[in-house]
Amino acid sequence: MAGLSGDQVLEIDDKTEDIQNNINKDSNCDSNLTNREVTDKAGLVVRGEENSNNNNQGGERDMAPPASNSIHRSGSRPQLDLSKAAIQGSSEERDPTILLPNQSDDISHLALDIGGSLIKLVYFSRHEDRSIDDKRKKTVKERLGISNGNRRSYPILGGRLHFVKFETSKLNECLDFISSKQLHRGGIDSHHWNSEAPANENAVIKKATGGGAYKFADLFKERLGVSIDKEDEMDCLVAGANFLLKAIRHEAFTHMEGHKEFVQLDHNDLFPYLLVNIGSGVSMIKVDGDGKFQRVSGTNVGGGTYWGLGRLLTKCKSFDELLELSQRGDNRTIDMLVGDIYGGMDYSKLPPSILKSSQIGLSASTIASSFGKAISDKKELEDYRPEDISLSLLRMISYNIGQISYLNALRFGLKRIFFGGFFIRGHAYTMDTISFAVHFWSQGEAQAMFLRHEGFLGALGAFMSYEKHGLDDLMVHQLVERFPMGAPYTGGKIHGPPLGDLNEKASIVGFCDIWPESINPLEINGPGLGLSCSKRISWMEKFVLKGTEITAPVPMAPPGTTGLGGFEVPSSRGGTLRSDASALNVGVLHLVPTLEVFPLLANPKMYEPNTIDLSDHSELEYWFTVLSEHLPDLVDKAVASEGGTDDAKRRGDAFARAFSAHLARLMEEPAAYGKLGLANLLELREECLREFQFHDAYRSIKQRENEASLAVLPDLLMELDCMDEEARLLTLIEGVLAANIFDWGSRACVDLYHKGTIIEIYRMSRNKMQRPWRVDDFDLFKERMLGSEGKKPQPHNRALLFVDNSGADVVLGMLPLARELIRRGTEVVLVANSLPALNDVTAMELPDIVAEAAKHCDILRRAAEAGGLLVDAMNNTLDGSKENASSVPLMVVENGCGSPCIDLRQVSSELAAAAKDADLIILEGMGRALHTNFNAQFKCEALKLAMVKNQRLAEKLIKGKIYDCVCRYEPAN
Ligand SMILES: CC(C)(COP(=O)(O)O)[C@@H](O)C(=O)NCCC(=O)O
Ligand SMILES: [Mn+2]
């Protein structure tokens, strides 16, 4: 099959002479472009070592973006600064956007659920939109018919929803937290949460639910000057559950025998359901719709019973300790089992003369009576192991709740039962036990489902009770969940007193719990926490130290004996309980009202972006290893991109630890953060980099490759123009495939770059482009483009080109292809990332690249002018042509993501609008066309182009080998 073998590629260093061919090997043109000239023109050698040496000498500083590019977050309190406020656009518009040029801080809002054992906090931080409404955007908006009028008013441009909890006994820590984040300010009246803070702070009202909203109201007033507006607990639970079930894709899951599976819910068929909230006590609520519910039952035997009795019987100091203890327990020592009564025999195996009904089917290990053995044993409390007591209690309570729940579901004919409340704590054994009881009593007819945000239903509901926040009608695709470093380890713990020096760092508890999302880590010792410390840099040292303590959560030793003696044996033995059992599996919810489902997906409900299934453990292990091995190199690049300073090195180190910890966590529990695909892992890496303030690790590499490629573009275009249509189309597609080799995310490719210049590699790659490619639908595509038997087909109306990498990939691959389409009368929209990811080109960078290319090409220039990409229209035509007639436009839109892959369920509104009139999609690169969307079906024609730069993927996906190519053409669905 076609493609470069590893050996062939390795010849580059020795055989530079072999690649003296011109870019177009078949060209009849008398190109005078020699390899030497190319290299000189480009002036570039991309040998990795030379690169990083330069970087380490601080050579990159020049390339650093202007300061305004970095996200500024002041630690001081957000107060709206209305000075110089102005209406953007027409003031006659219905909800005109008001620009606050001097407003720089987040705006936060808070709701609480103050329960008997835990305080749950949901708070929202909103960022003012500081994106520049540049000319490109304006023209694109005009062309695509996007107006500000359809922008929602609340929240103006989204924000983030955070979830934190505290033990109620540590209320003061909670108050400190609220105070340090200034969450008690902002929002005056209880209805309009987006009203701004009044001068008189005493008027500030916060929504709260749970008993503590009454009990601690005075304390809130005294300490924070906040009045508590009490919300009905049931109302809140239901509102919270409804919001989660409708708005979060991977919220509900089943948990049977240690296996977690996310449930795809049909939002139109959600009601009715039974909501079982297990807090200190248990409420069972029949939910028929938004705000329509009835508390149908409950039980006083709940989480409080487990914790209360458990504390008395075992002397445990915390709920989590008690839960942990249960994992080493054996309940047979204390529970009376069927076998104990029947001499070790299953009830069903008793002789028929004794067995009245063989239908009961109780096994010898079934618990006949919880704690029943304690009656006959002549033992005292001290004679029982606390571990066994804890397990026996846990099973007793969980089974009981499962059973009562099922009976209530049966009573009202409800198909679905959702369990929430902090009793569950993501504890595998508890969930298995409840699931088992539901399954057992319903004889498999009913299934228990659990919620990832189990403990936050009430707090979320209280939050929803602020009117007009616009969250109630948010859709799944408008929410992006992110897992900052703090999230998996959130314990809601607050820092101790101000830190003097590094020796005190060990005393910080939960250091990483609260900084990443709303406090600029660089200011962690600054005013953000109300702490003052002159050693500004010390936070990172502390983090790094703390990071070494953050090992992957270690599973407890399997109890071995646990589990025997149930109705049957739940096979999950709580092995997934982490050492920090209170840790949350929830991230920060980013609310992005501008995200939309890509309108050209043939079947959005069935769409699954990921091609590789990471629930296959060997697959997960492989990608885990690949990403771990990439890490040192990535850290080098990231640190170099920030000038190689000591601060950058420390951040690089912390990033490596954070990302490794995430990987380890996911290896242990792949579904911890929702359903996991390769795209999520690759995105997590980019997010993690951003979290540590590395905004564009490959910036200088991208710039150099762009310059080198732009230098040879005119020659390439000249050669192309000498070809006939058919040869040109083939050369263009070859060009895209060949240039896709410039991928800094692939180990094999990076090794290659150490052996040659980009131009050498590019030529080599092109010369190896023999057809047929491993997946080769070129002839079909050619027929669609050029027609057959003399019939000229209708050109496409609009093509969306999802571009991938900077440098040769976009300049020598995708731009010439775009030019060909434009030449045929097709509007072209280049779709690029909103944020950097590896060496992918971004929508911000593209206009400059296009402008540079347009200097040498009239077709591109006219199209770019028409698409608003050229700010100053050039007067001189370069090819002497007088064709000044208007051209079809070339536009650039952002895709809404910052990852090497793309999930088409969540794209920018710009892209969704551009898709409206599109009849051709070209997806390019491994990330966008193979890892994701390889199997995606579209309503319009689709061309998927990529070079496979990973041996394993090549074997799995196309039964080929590394450097094989994919050209998949699919007609409209
Ligand atoms: C990150 C990538 C998807 C980027 O590929 P691209 O979309 O640029 O073609 C790809 O480089 C990749 O899958 N890399 C990891 C595997 C490896 O090192 O082989
Ligand atoms: Mn890429």
pLDDT in tens, 358-381: 444 566 677 889 999 998 778 899
Question: Using 50, 70 and 90 to split pLDDT, how confident is the model at 108?
Answer: low
Phi, psi of 110 (to 5 degrees): -140, 145
Q: Are residues 96 and 225 in the same domain?
A: yes
SS3 256: strand
Alpha carbons 540 and 516: distance in angstroms, whole number: 12
Q: What is the per-residue DSSP string for 533-576?
A: -S-TTHHHHHHHHHHHH-PPPPPPPP-SSTTTTSSS--S--STT
Residue 84 inside a domain? The answer is yes
Site to substitute for ligand 1 among 9, 621, 743, most atoms within 8 A of C-beta: 743
Task: Indicate the pLDDT class of residue 150, thresholds 50, 70 and 90.
Answer: very low
Ligand nearest, relative to CA of residue 925 = 1
Average pLDDT over residues 135-149: 65
745 lines ligand 1 (CB under 6 A): yes
Q: Give the residue whose CA is nearest to atom 16 of ligand 1.
A: 746
Q: Confirm whether 634 is domain-assigned.
A: no
- Residue 469 sits at the vertex; the CA angle it makes with 464 and 470, to the nearest 5 degrees, is 95
Q: Say if residue 819 is in the same domain as residue 727.
A: yes
Q: Residue 340 — pLDDT band, cuts 50, 70, 90?
A: confident
Residue 889 lies in a domain: yes
134 — pLDDT class (breaks 50, 70, 90) = low
| % helix, strand, coil for the chain, step of 5 | 40, 15, 45
Assess whether the C-beta atom of 805 lies below 6 angstroms from ligand 1: yes
Asked if the structure places residue 567 within a domain, the reply is: no
Contact 306, 398 (CB under 8 A): no
932 SS3 class: strand
More confident site: 431 or 499: 431
Distance 144 CA to ligand 2 centre (A): 27
Over residues 424-441, the mean pLDDT reads 91
| CA atoms of 879 and 308, how far apart (whole Å) | 85
Within a domain: 719: yes
CA distances to 164, 349, 350, 351, 369 from 354, in Å = 56, 10, 6, 6, 21
> If you ran DSSP here, which 8-state letter would residue 809 be given?
I
Atom of ligand 1 nearest to the CA of 678: 13
Query: Which among 538, 563, 596 is the end of a domain?
Result: 596
Give the C-alpha separation, 19 to 709, whole Å: 17
Å from CA of 943 to ligand 2 middle: 17
The CATH code of the domain that includes 829 is 3.40.50.10880
Task: Give mean pLDDT, residues 847-859.
Answer: 96
Residue 449 makes CB contacts below 8 A (sequence gap 6+) with 252, 253, 254, 263, 416, 417, 418, 419
Pocket test for ligand 1, best of 684, 689, 742, 746 (most atoms within 8 A of CB): 746
Q: Which two tokens stand for residue 650?
A: 């420390």
Nearest CA to ligand 1 atom 15: 746
Atom 14 of ligand 1, residue of closest alpha carbon: 746
Position 483 confidence tier, pLDDT thresholds 50, 70, 90 = confident
The region of weakest confidence among 5-14, 576-585, 643-652, 821-830 is 5-14
Point out the ligand nearest to the CA of residue 747.
Answer: 1
Phi, psi of 653 (to 5 degrees): -65, -45
779 near 970, Cβ under 8 Å?
no
In whole angstroms, give the CA distance from residue 960 to residue 954: 5
Ligand (nearest to CA of 902): 1
| Distance between Cα 927 and ligand 1 center (Å) | 6
- Asked whether the predicted pLDDT for residue 920 surpasses 90, the reply is yes
- Do 957 and 816 fall into the same domain? yes
Report whether residue 900 contacts ligand 1, using a CB cutoff of 6 Å: yes
| Residue 950 in contact with ligand 1 by CB distance below 6 A | yes
Q: Which bound ligand lies closest to the C-alpha atom of 931?
A: 1
The DSSP symbol for 498 reads P
Question: What is the pLDDT at residue 508?
Answer: 26
ipTM (interface pTM): 0.99
Torsion angle of C-alpha atoms 611, 616, 617, 620, degrees rounded to 10: 0
Contacts of 484 by beta carbon, 8 Å cutoff, 6+ apart: 516, 517, 587, 588, 687, 691
Encoding tokens for residue 675? Answer: 């359903």
Same domain, 31 and 112: no
Q: Which residues have CB atoms below 5 A from the ion given as ligand 2? A: 804-805, 840, 900, 925
Rounded Cα–Cα distance for residues 884 and 593 (Å): 40
Q: Distance from the CA of 62 to the center of ligand 1, in angstroms?
A: 28
Is the CB of residue 466 less than 8 Å from the CB of residue 237?
no
Domain span holding position 175: 66-251+457-491+581-596
Do 80 and 27 lie in one domain? The reply is: no
Q: Closest-lying ligand to the alpha carbon of 841?
A: 2
What is the Å distance from ligand 2's center to 668 Cα? 28
Q: Calculate ∠ Cα 512-515-518, nearest 5°.
A: 155
What is the per-residue pLDDT across 599-626, written as a single tens digit (0 to 9) for each? 999 999 999 999 998 988 899 999 999 9
- 379 CA distance to ligand 2 middle (Å): 68
Q: Which of 596, 629, 651 is the last residue of a domain?
A: 596
887 and 748 in a common domain? yes
- Ligand 2 centroid, distance to 743 Cα (angstroms): 6
CA 630 / ligand 1 centre spacing (Å): 11
Note the ligand closest to the C-alpha atom of 932: 1
What percentage of the chain exceeds 90 in pLDDT?
A: 50
Q: Which residues contact 571 (CB under 8 A, 6 or more apart)?
A: 257, 258, 432, 563
Report the distance separating Cα 298 and Cα 219, nearest Å. Answer: 31
In a domain, 18, yes or no: yes
Ligand 1 atom closest to residue 629's alpha carbon, by position in its atom list: 18
Both 36 and 70 in one domain: the answer is no
User: 282: part of which helix (H) or strand (E)?
Assistant: strand 282-289
Same structural domain, 169 and 42: no
Question: What is the average per-residue pLDDT within 307-330?
Answer: 93
Is 924 touching ligand 1 by the criterion CB < 6 Å?
Answer: no
> Separation of 260 CA from ligand 1 center, angstroms?
29
Q: Is ligand 1 within 6 A of the CB of residue 927?
A: yes
Residue 36 and residue 124 in one domain: no
Looking from the CA of residue 742, the nearest atom of ligand 1 is: 8
- Please work out whether the CB of residue 746 comes within 6 Å of at least one atom of ligand 1: yes
pLDDT value of position 339: 76
Average pLDDT over residues 326-334: 92
- 739/867 same-domain check: yes
Q: How confident is the model at residue 387 (pLDDT cuts 50, 70, 90)?
A: very high
The enclosing domain of 467 has a CATH number of 3.30.420.40
Residue 666 Cα to ligand 1 midpoint, Å, equals: 20
Supply the residue whose CA is at minimum distance from atom 3 of ligand 1.
927
Output the six-digit token pair for 942. Answer: 């689709």
905 lies in some domain: yes
pLDDT, tens only, 398-413: 999 999 999 999 999 9
> Into how many domains does the chain fold?
2
Specify whether 79 is located in the same domain as 216: yes
Cα gap 211→112, rounded to integer Å: 11
Residues 128 and 179 in one domain: yes
Q: Is the CB of 631 under 6 A from ligand 1?
A: no
Pick from 596, 630, 654: which residue ends a domain? 596
pLDDT of res. 798? 98
Mean pLDDT lowest among 378-387, 449-458, 514-523: 514-523
- 93 occurs within a structural domain: yes
> How many Å apart are CA 93 and CA 99, to the nearest integer?
14
Residue to probe by mutation, ligand 1, list 689, 805, 838, 926, most atoms within 8 Å of CB: 926
Pocket lining: 305 vs ligand 1, CB cutoff 6 Å: no
